[in-house]
């Protein structure tokens, strides 16, 4: 304890210089915490988005993910209701939602365009996903028999079809047998995804309508939503054993955007962190070198009195430790203040590439990141001190004592 | 009396570029335990080299050095550090106190190195603070003390571990006459109390006169007249006794 007290007193010896070093360490620490926290916030947002979109696990026919369908629903799931029933009994599972992927032509009588559609269970989907309905309403669970089937149109597709709520349109597609089939639909709502390319092509219909259009009782995929994302792998393993004839992918395998962003940010913030660590290293090394040079005579005195070189080294290491700890804690305080400020300021980030909706600028505080940053900065400070003090303690005592 | 310091045929040469400077030339010397020995001589005569050798912070090129009957020059650097830690104290001309430590902490430092228990350490520091008359200044930092007070702290620091030998390099050089006299009296007193041998490099005539033995170095050699004077003085002391 005495040695730590002496180290603290020595740090206060040249207050201005120590303060500058502490501030550099604190800025480095806060930059890592803020940068890392922003990355974590982004990862979390994308992860939630990805799991909401696809569910945690997607079960399909064996060749669905790897093969190219020659006809509609060639690789569809025929026993999906049985699988759904079995999965729904699992305590880890929140919802199981079937979906049908299809494409074809949409026409208003005057103009025809290509569409990409998703056949959904209206009741199940609203529980799992959020839809940004610009106009009208989400699909009803059941349409009256004498009414046209309901459809939800992407806003740019609606614009292209000059359609509004209540407009009648015709969907054309090829059936599972390869025949051309058509169905009249009524626009029940207009939605926006935030991705212009999707808004130009995308539409939603209910599963019975999609099945009628494709003339098939199959669905493309079953999307399993779990209570806890962390259980994904455990549950996946279980289902792989339970349904060996089916293909199964987890959300991460399907979230290409998420994986791309994570890889990009990890590299970006990794390089940033490395630069910060190097700056802190040189700053502390510079300070400790000056400290050692200024205290050469003192080092000689302590050595003459019987202090071992490693004990002298320990004193400098403790000083660097004090600087590293104070700098890291100050860095945490700066980062904490900045995070609180952002939460209250309500700043928005511009839309990412390929999207037209921005998102709030928020930063997560991660205790794990703080501990890691503090450890790295302390190790860097201690290494700097060792490097700087090593030269000082190697000097012959007589030379050190006569140092002016 | 037992011989504490014994130097035999000690030589040391410094190499400054292409020039060689013989600092000590075949110096042999015996110093008894509890003696106050004054080491004088002109600048460059080898006083500091001799002190550094005796204090184990410099190594001679040749010769033999025994301290308390134990040979020193064959020891490793770590062993020499441990000898200095336990058996040798230093008093420097410029005091060399650690500026961030209080007077108390400066004195306590050598005891911290020995790993002495807290209570024992406190007892020792309090006692020596009392003996050097600095009780009321114990919480002062060195720059809050006068030159004389700083040198007293330095002496207390050297003596607190009760070493066999204290090496003092010009301990009164930076002090005024009155303070220097006090310091000389104090050294004499502490030497008597602790039975410590003092090896003092000095130009101060008053100090030289009050020492038990005076050695003059000239060009790295001991002036043999001094040895003779000291021997005569010892003989007279014996006769009178």
Residues 6 or more apart whose Cβ sits within 8 Å of residue A154: A190, A191, A192, A193, A198, A199, A200, A201, A202, A203
CB contact, 8 Å: B88 with chain A?
yes
Are A369 and A209 in contact by the 8 Å Cβ rule? The answer is no
Answer whether residue A276 shows pLDDT above 70: yes
Give the pLDDT band of residue B239 (cuts 50, 70, 90): very low
**Residues B97-134: tens digit of each pLDDT:** 999 999 999 999 999 999 999 999 999 999 999 988 88
Give the pLDDT band of residue B227 (cuts 50, 70, 90): low
User: Closest by alpha carbon to A322, among A9, A16, A14, A29?
Assistant: A9
In the numeric block, the tokens 């510079």 are attached to A286
Supply A82's token pair: 């049985």
Average pLDDT value over all residues in chain A: 90
Specify the 3-state DSSP secondary structure of A188. strand
The pTM of the full predicted model, rounded to 2 decimals, is 0.76
Cα–Cα distance for residue pair B92/A236, rounded to 1 Å = 76
CB contact, 8 Å: A396 with chain B?
yes
Q: CB distance B96–A401 less than 8 Å?
A: yes
CA B196 to chain centre: 10
Q: CB distance A303–B113 less than 8 Å?
A: no
Cα–Cα distance for residue pair A73/A216, rounded to 1 Å = 7
Give the pLDDT band of residue A86 (cuts 50, 70, 90): very high
Rounded to 5 degrees, what angle do the CA atoms A39, A333, A340 make?
60
Specify the 3-state DSSP secondary structure of B96. coil
Burial of B95 (0-12, 13-18, 19+ CB in 10 A): buried
Specify the 3-state DSSP secondary structure of B104. helix
Supply A237's token pair: 């393993």
CB contact, 8 Å: B58 with chain A?
yes
Residues 6 or more apart whose Cβ sits within 8 Å of residue A258: A43, A46, A47, A49, A50, A252
User: Closest by alpha carbon to A362, among A4, A139, A39?
Assistant: A39
**Residues A210-236: tens digit of each pLDDT:** 999 999 999 999 999 999 999 999 999
Q: What is the mean pLDDT of residues A77-96?
A: 92
Task: State residue A347 phi and psi, 5-degree precision.
Answer: -70, 150
Cα–Cα distance for residue pair A28/A202, rounded to 1 Å = 46
The minimal CB distance from A6 to the residues B84, B101, B110 is found for: B101
Answer whether residue A146 shows pLDDT above 90: no
Distance from the A284 Cα atom to the nearest Cα atom in chain B, whole angstroms: 21
In the numeric block, the tokens 């699909």 are attached to A139
Are B96 and A297 in contact by the 8 Å Cβ rule? The answer is yes
User: DSSP label at B216?
Assistant: E
Answer whether residue B228 shows pLDDT above 50: no
The minimal CB distance from A398 to the residues B52, B78, B96 is found for: B52
Q: CB distance B96–A297 less than 8 Å?
A: yes
Q: Which of B44, B49, B57 to mutate to test the interface with A (most CBs of A within 10 A)?
A: B57
Q: What is the pLDDT of residue A14?
A: 87
């Amino acid at each position: 304890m005495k040695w730590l007290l002496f180290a603290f007193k020595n740090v206060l010896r040249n207050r201005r210089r120590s303060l500058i070093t502490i501030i550099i360490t604190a800025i480095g620490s806060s930059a890592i915490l803020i940068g890392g926290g922003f990355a974590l916030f982004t990862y979390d947002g994308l992860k939630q988005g990805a799991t909401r979109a696809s569910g945690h696990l997607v079960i399909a026919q064996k060749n669905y993910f790897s093969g190219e369908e020659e006809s509609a629903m060639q690789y569809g799931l025929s026993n999906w209701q049985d699988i759904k029933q079995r999965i729904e009994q699992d305590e880890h599972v929140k919802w199981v939602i079937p979906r049908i992927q299809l494409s074809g032509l949409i026409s208003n009588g005057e103009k025809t365009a290509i569409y990409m559609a998703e056949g959904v269970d209206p009741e199940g989907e609203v529980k799992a996903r959020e839809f940004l309905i610009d106009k009208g309403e989400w699909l009803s669970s059941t349409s009256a028999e004498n009414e046209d089937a309901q459809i939800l149109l992407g806003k740019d597709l609606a614009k292209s079809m000059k359609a509004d709520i209540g407009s009648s349109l015709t969907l054309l597609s090829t059936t599972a047998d390869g025949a051309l089939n058509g169905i009249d639909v009524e626009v029940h709502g207009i939605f926006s995804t935030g991705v212009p390319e999707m808004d130009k092509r995308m539409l939603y219909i209910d599963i019975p309508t999609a099945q009628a259009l494709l003339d098939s009782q199959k669905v493309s995929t079953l999307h399993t939503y779990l209570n806890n994302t962390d259980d994904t792998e455990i549950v996946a393993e279980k289902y792989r054993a339970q349904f060996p004839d089916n293909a199964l992918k987890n959300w991460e395998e399907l979230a290409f955007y998420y994986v791309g962003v994570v890889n990009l940010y990890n590299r970006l913030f990794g390089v940033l962190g490395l630069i910060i660590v190097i700056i802190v290293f040189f700053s502390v090394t510079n300070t400790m070198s000056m400290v050692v040079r200024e205290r050469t005579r003192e080092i000689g005195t302590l050595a003459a009195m019987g202090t071992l070189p490693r004990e002298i080294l320990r004193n400098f290491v403790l000083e660097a430790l004090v600087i590293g700890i104070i700098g890291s804690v100050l860095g945490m305080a700066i980062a904490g203040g900045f995070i609180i400020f952002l939460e209250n300021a309500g700043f928005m980030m511009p839309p990412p590439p390929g999207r037209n909706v921005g998102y709030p600028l928020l930063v997560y505080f991660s205790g794990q990141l703080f501990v890691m940053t503090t450890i790295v900065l302390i190790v860097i400070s201690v290494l700097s001190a060792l490097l700087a003090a090593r030269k000082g303690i190697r000097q012959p005592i007589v030379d050190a004592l006569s140092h002016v | 009396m037992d011989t504490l310091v014994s130097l035999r045929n000690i030589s040391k040469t410094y190499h400054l570029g292409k020039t060689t400077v013989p600092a000590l030339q075949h110096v042999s010397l015996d110093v008894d335990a509890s003696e106050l020995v004054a080491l004088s001589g002109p600048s460059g005569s080898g006083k500091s080299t001799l002190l550094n050798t005796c204090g184990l912070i410099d190594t001679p090129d040749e010769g033999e050095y025994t301290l308390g009957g134990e040979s020193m020059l064959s020891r490793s650097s770590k062993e020499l550090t441990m000898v200095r830690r336990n058996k040798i104290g230093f008093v420097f001309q410029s005091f060399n106190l650690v500026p961030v430590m209080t007077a108390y902490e400066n004195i306590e430092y050598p005891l911290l190195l020995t790993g002495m228990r807290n209570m024992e350490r406190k007892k020792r520091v309090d006692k020596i603070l009392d003996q050097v008359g600095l009780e009321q200044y114990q919480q002062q930092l060195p720059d809050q003390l006068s030159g004389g007070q700083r040198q007293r702290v330095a002496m207390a620091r050297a003596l607190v571990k009760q070493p066999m030998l204290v090496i003092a390099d010009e301990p009164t050089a930076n002090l005024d006459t009155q303070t220097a006299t006090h310091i000389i009296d104090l050294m004499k007193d502490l030497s008597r109390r602790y039975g410590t041998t003092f090896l003092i490099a000095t130009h101060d005539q008053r100090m030289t006169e009050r020492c038990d033995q005076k050695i003059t170095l000239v060009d790295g050699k001991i002036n043999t007249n001094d040895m003779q004077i000291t021997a005569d003085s010892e003989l007279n002391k014996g006769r009178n006794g």
